[in-house]
Amino acid sequence: FESPIAVVTQVHGGGDNVPGVQTIAFNLPNDERVREQKGAKKVLLSNVMGAKFDRILAPMASHVLVPEQAAMLLQKYMGAETLFHELSHSLGPGTITKNGAGTTVNAELKELYSATEEGKADVMGAYNILYMMEKGELPAAEKQQFLATYFAGLFRAMRFGINEAHGRGAAFQYSYFRDAGAASVDEASGKFRLDFAKLEIAIRDLTRDIVILQGDGDYEKAKAFLDRRAVLDAPAQAVIASLTDAPVDIQPEYPARAN
C-alpha cells in the first residue's frame, strides 16, 4: 500500500485539461477497491496553483472580505489547503456496510456523491490544518491567515457554479458557516467579516456532520442536506457579481514543443 505525494511543475496539459477547468491538483485513482488495496497518488501542480492565486484569489480577496482580513491571504495556505484537500479524499468513509451488505458511499449517494466528497475534502482539509497547528507542526500564529485564505477560496470555487461538484461543495460550506455565525456581512461595504473562533468550531462541526452523512450512505438525507445547504444567499451572490476584475479561471500558454 502506497500513498505518495508529488509537487510538480506542469509543462503541458492535454485531454479534458485543455478546454475545461484548469486542475491545480488531483488524487487518483477514484476506484475505492484500488485505493484500499494499493493506495492513491496525490499530485499538486505548483505553477498552476501559483498562477491561480496571483491572478484570481488574491484579486478576489478585497471583494470578499473586509480590508483588514483581505490583507491576511497567503499563497502558502492556498497550497496547504490544496494538499490537505487531496489527502482528505483518502480519509473518511469509502467502503461502508448498509443493510448488512458491503457497498460504497459513491454507489449509495449516486449523483450527489461528488459534491459531498469535494466539500468533505475541503472542510476536512481545513480541520486537519488546524489540527497540525494545534500540534505545533504548522505555525499556530498564522491561524487567522489560513482561515481567511480558506474562506475566500470558497468563492473561487463557487464561481464555477453550484451545479458543479466543487462549487456545490463550497456552497454548502459557506451556508453552514453563515448559519454558525462565522461570517457576517459588513452592512456598509457588503463584504464579509469572519469570526475566527466561530469559524474554527464550525469547521470541526461540519467535518463531523459530512463524515456521518457519507458513512450512513443515506441518499435522501444527503439530498435534503444539499437542498438546504448548497445554496447562495443574497450577500454571496452580490459578492460574486462584483468579481468583474478577476477571471473565473486561467488559460495557460505553454511553450511550443519541438518536433
pLDDT > 90: percent of the chain: 81
Q: Does pLDDT of 46 surpass 80? A: yes
Q: Is residue 37 part of a domain?
A: no
Average pLDDT over residues 37-56: 91
pLDDT confidence tier of residue 37, bands split at 50, 70 and 90:
confident
- Quick check: is 192 in a domain? yes
Cell of 136: 505545533
Lowest mean pLDDT among 64-78, 90-104, 109-123: 90-104
Tell me the residue length of the chain. 259
Q: What is the pLDDT of residues 196-206, one digit of tens each?
A: 999 999 999 99
CA distance 133 to 128: 9
Determine contact, residues 109/221, Cβ cutoff 8 Å: no
Share of the chain above pLDDT 70, in %: 98
Closest among 111, 134, 126, 112 to 203, alpha carbons compared: 126
In the chain, the number of structural domains is 1
SS3 state of residue 205? helix
pLDDT tens by residue, 114-168: 999 999 999 999 999 999 999 999 999 999 999 999 999 999 999 989 999 999 9
CA 43 to chain centre: 16
Q: What is the DSSP letter of 254?
A: P
In a domain, 56, yes or no: no
Does pLDDT of 258 surpass 80?
Answer: no
Strands 95-98 and 101-104: antiparallel
Give residue 101's domain range.
63-241
Note whether residue 97 is domain-resident. Answer: yes
**151 in a domain, yes or no?**
yes
Residue 137 has what pLDDT?
98
Supply the pLDDT for residue 1. 63
The verdict on residue 155 lying in a domain is: yes
- Of 41-50, 57-66, 113-122, give the lowest mean pLDDT range: 41-50
Domain membership flag for residue 198? yes
Contact 166, 153 (CB under 8 A): no
**pLDDT for residue 2:** 76
- The single-letter code of the amino acid at 164 is E
Q: How much is the pLDDT for 253?
A: 84
Q: What is the pLDDT of residue 22?
A: 86
228 falls within a domain: yes
pLDDT value at 214 more than 90 = yes
